[in-house]
Amino acid sequence: MNSTLVGKMQSDLFMPDSWTALLIVLTDFLVLQFSYFLDYTKEALEHFFIAVIFYCLTCVFLYMAIAKWQILNFNKDVNNPRRVLLVTAHPDDECMFFGPTILNLTRRQGCTVYIMCLSKGDHYGMGKIRKNELYEACQVLGVNESCIVLQSHSLLPDSITKKWPVELIANMILDHVERYSIDTLITFDKHGVSQHLNHCSIYYAITYLVIEKNLPEDCKAYVLESINILRKFWLILDIPICYFLSRHRYILSMKDCNIVKMAMKKHESQLVWFRRLYLLFSRYILINTLQQVELTDLELEIELDD
């Protein structure tokens, strides 16, 4: 092939018409791929929305079957509770987090529920007001005034930045466990639902008692499971997840949810706008799931941390 012909072929390759044709082909290809992508996305979204609607309708049906028609049993009690001690950090914790547990246990025949609150909630100097609010709220929840223990200790301030002494709390709890012959102990888990350090401190006090084997043999400890922010405000949409993931669980009807809300409204000093929203949307007003504190689990957790 002579040099003239080669030169002509090279010049033809870089002609504007060649680039235009290549650009057209590339554009057509990209448009086609984008069209495929749009069709796939549209189909995927349709399937997603159908799945979401189906899931929501399923949850509504399950809730109606559990709470209204009572043809399904969602509740799964802790092991044979007779004398229960619920340990909280502040007045209003019993309503904001433990309402379903308290209502179910107070209605259980032969079961007595004690509530031990480790501070008066005196952060803003309202300790006396909050004490009265606690008694009024517990009355709505069905807890006798004689079963309420309100502690006040200089080392247990109402503060989101201060950890409480674990051994001090543990000794206070153990004293009341022995005094009231408690067989079921309930409190927060290590995340404290809201990451509040006072809540978390109670959990570590309970685990201290379990690890040291200080609790009576017939006393079982349970903690309220903390959940992620999405599930926290799912209300009845959390029912299937709770059913499969939690061994001990309680759910309330809408009527009983209103009782918890009425109890919380007794804490009038605490009803700022975001707590009012919490009462409307929080899953803890409707559902509680509990986990038993086992020595073997704690030992494994310690090994993993090491």
Give pLDDT, residue 26: 82
Residues 6 or more apart whose CB falls under 8 angstroms from that of 66 comprise 72, 73, 74, 239, 251
Whether residue 137 sits in one domain with residue 38: no
In order of 63, 65, 222, the CA distances from 70 in angstroms are 9, 5, 26
Chunked mean pLDDT (size 10), the chain, 306 residues: 51 60 80 88 94 96 93 89 97 97 96 97 83 97 96 91 94 97 97 94 97 94 96 94 94 97 96 94 97 87 66
At which residue do the structure tokens 């109670």 appear?
A: 202
Q: Determine contact, residues 103/141, Cβ cutoff 8 Å.
A: yes
pLDDT at position 305, please?
A: 64
134 and 3, same domain (yes or no): no
Q: What is the pLDDT of residue 6?
A: 47
- Could you tell me if 95 and 55 lie in one domain? no
* Euclidean distance between CA atoms 153 and 168, whole angstroms: 10
Task: Give the pLDDT confidence score for residue 29 in this predicted structure.
Answer: 82
**Structural domain ending residue among the three candidates 37, 72, 107:** 72
Same domain membership, residue 291 and residue 206: yes
- Report the domain count for the chain: 2
What SS3 state is found at 154? coil
CATH at 101: 3.40.50.10320
Residue 94, pLDDT score? 98
Residue 300: the pLDDT is 76
Q: Which residues contact 302 (CB under 8 A, 6 or more apart)?
A: none
* 102 φψ region: left (φ > 0), alpha (ψ -120 to 50), beta (else): alpha
What is the structure's pLDDT at 18?
A: 73
Please report whether residue 78 resides in a domain: no
Decide if 77 is inside a domain.
no
> Cβ neighbours of residue 293 under 8 Å, at least 6 residues apart?
206, 207, 210, 220, 221, 222, 223
**Residue 91, domain extent:** 83-305
User: Does residue 178 fall inside a structural domain?
Assistant: yes
pTM for the model stands at 0.86
**Cα-trace Rg, the chain:** 29
Same domain, 140 and 224: yes
> Are 132 and 55 in a shared domain?
no
Query: Whole-angstrom Cα distance, residue 117 to residue 149?
Result: 6
Does 97 lie in the same domain as 52? Answer: no
Co-location of 240 and 164 in the same domain: yes
